[in-house]
Amino acid sequence: MKTLEDLTRKVWDEVWFRGQANAEWPLHTTLERRSPNIRSVSKYLNLIGEIKPAIEIFTGAVFSMPKPNEIVEMCYEYDRFEFQLRSCAVYLAHLRHCGFPSPMLDWSHSPYVAAYFAFAHAKHDGDVAIYAYRERPVNFKIGDSDLPQIITFGPNVRTHKRHFRQQSRYTACARYVDGAWLFESHESVFGLSNNLDQDRLWKVIIPAKERMKVLSDLDKFNLNDFTLFDSEESLLEMLAMRVIDMREGRP
């Protein structure tokens, strides 16, 4: 019989992609943007544990989360933290897809999905950015206990259906400081000069004026707001793009 650790063990090795509507934006999570003062992993997990009953009643789903005493243990322990955080992946991914402030950056296995997210709301004269990330190009990863590290959550997450529509992948960045785990900015890892053989990041910059050409081409392959989000609002956004933006040649 497989244990929980077997089921959550990392088995992926892929290049992941992320699109951002403005090339000048940093790689910040929605939690960093909404509340940069919430850095304690323990505090955040207790917060989402507090709202879990409301989410479960609304969705009819049941999400796995450590109990308060287990959260304390995992957030003050070094060796098993990554495994224990990954065991919360189903709930964390669900919250991320539904818009609750999250410490995870979302990525896609598809560069085309990343391109859609880069251009969909890029209504400006600047540039968009598409990032490519690979965790371990040389098939192994090492790190110092006092440095920030990126934790990856791959494709095998049974969570919100948008996870599969968008071919979603996720990363979180954390650091062990004075005996406790804190969330850190991803850029604190990508900026390390000695990080050349792991956590590789590439950035492609494209003029935002290509927006309608890119979105039109993606729509021909049935990649649009509706196929990625599957809601009435996204259906109307897709139709508005087809009958208004494309016909009027909007930027």
What CA–CA distance (Å, rounded) separates 81 from 172? 12
The answer to whether the pTM exceeds 0.85 is: yes
User: How many domains, in total, are found in the chain?
Assistant: 1
Model confidence pLDDT, tens digit, residues 189-202: 987 756 668 899 99
pLDDT of res. 12: 65
Model confidence pLDDT, tens digit, residues 112-131: 999 999 999 898 899 999 99
Residue 4's pLDDT band, with cuts at 50, 70 and 90, is very low
Q: Are the C-beta atoms of 31 and 41 separated by less than 8 Å?
A: no
Amino acid at 186: H
Q: Is the pLDDT confidence value at 10 over 90? A: no
What CA–CA distance (Å, rounded) separates 3 from 86? 14
| Domain region containing 131 | 4-248
Mean pLDDT, rounded, for 8-13: 58
Q: Are the C-beta atoms of 53 and 205 separated by less than 8 Å?
A: no
Single out the residue of 41, 79, 78, 48 nearest to residue 65, CA to CA: 48
Amino acid at 116: Y
Single out the residue of 221, 222, 219 nearest to residue 241, CA to CA: 219
